[in-house]
Amino acid sequence: MLQRKSKTVLGKTAMYMFLTVVLVFSLAPVLWALTCSLRENSEIMKYIMPLQYHTFVPDALTLEPYINIFTIRNFGQAVVRTIEICATTIIAGLFINSLAGYSLSKLQFRGKGFLFMFVVFTIMIPGEGITMPMYGIVHDMGLTNTIWALLLPAFANSIIIFMFKQSFDEIPDELLESAWMDGCTVMGVYRHIILPLSVPSMIFAGLTLFTGQWEAFLWPLLVGREDSLNMVQVALTQFQTEHYTLWNELYGACVITALVPLLLLVPFQNFFIQGIAHTGIKG
């Protein structure tokens, strides 16, 4: 008995040691970026080598890097533009995908099975892989360097349609039938029955659409070359090539690009986790 107990204690200790190592690996870069973004650039360089107390703990804190990012570097423009693009994508994407899911789940029409198979098939197409031929298509449509190029491809999302269909399938048909009998229209049922019952799915879909746009890199790099269409991730790498030595501001820009999604993801993390788990298990 005693032997068994000491064995579990040993196991627990090993487990927590491992978890702590991963925790440090995971968190240290974030904290490092945060501290560096709050100090003078000269101070970072002064204390970086050799390693000392002040390497990690700033002498004096300053918000100057952040002020510079938004005034001199014009990074704010990219942030605002990206937020606009994200908001538009969320609104349009929620409509388009949930209506498609609604139709595939609750309405009857010929070719429904085929269209659903089509949606499932498109889940398997690796998104990044097709970016370059997609550039060719968008170019032929004359949409490169317009906001439409950044918006249109992000609206329809097969994983989200799939997720909506699965979650609408769980809504009992009787509920819809009685509404239909009472003379409710298709859109009325959508508004008064489907929508109120699918808030968690909506939140998950919104977060997915948001992170997809916020984290997008290769696509905006190809089609958003004009300054006014710069999205954050592209702006960040441009900033890095142009001002590689301004470490405090660079780290500050990283903190901003990481903070915005976290502000949305952390409060809704349970919806997000359930959502990805749901599509993960059933997909």
Residues in 160-219 at the binding interface with other proteins, rule: CB under 8 A: 161, 173, 176-177, 180-181, 185-186, 211, 214-215, 217-218
- Could you tell me the sign of the dihedral formed by the alpha carbons of 112, 275, 219, 146, in that order? positive
Q: Are 235 and 75 in contact (CB under 8 A)?
A: yes
Contact 60, 39 (CB under 8 A): yes
Contact in structure between 150 and 186 (CB atoms under 8 Å) = no
Site residues for other proteins, 23-52, by CB under 8 A, read 23, 25-27, 29-30, 32-33, 45, 48-51
What is the smallest separation between the CB atom of 90 and other proteins, expressed in angstroms?
A: 15
In the numeric block, the tokens 């900033």 are attached to 239
Tokens 């749901």 correspond to 278
Residue 15: HSE in the Cβ half-sphere, 13 Å Cα cutoff: 6
| Torsional sign, CA 228, 230, 235, 241 | negative
With binding defined as CB under 8 A, does residue 151 bind other proteins?
A: no
Pattern 217-236, other proteins, x by CB under 8 A: xx--xx----------xx-x
CB of 118 or CB of 228, closer to other proteins: 118
Please tell me whether residue 277 binds other proteins under the rule CB under 8 A.
Answer: yes
Q: How far is the CB of 54 from other proteins (least distance, A)?
A: 12
Tokens of residue 165, six digits: 């269909």
Rounded Cα distance between 201 and 183, Å, is: 27
* CA–CA separation, 203 and 232 (whole Å): 23
Nearer to other proteins among residue 62 and residue 179 (C-beta): 179
Please, which residue, 70 or 217, has the CB nearer to other proteins? 217
Distance in Å, CB of 247 to other proteins, minimum: 6
Binding residues among 69-128 for other proteins as defined by CB under 8 A: 96-97, 99-100, 102-104, 106-109, 112, 115, 118-119, 122, 124-128
Q: What's the start-to-end Cα distance of the chain, in Å?
A: 45
Question: Between residues 50 and 196, which has the closer beta carbon with respect to other proteins?
Answer: 50
Give how many residues touch other proteins by CB under 8 A: 94
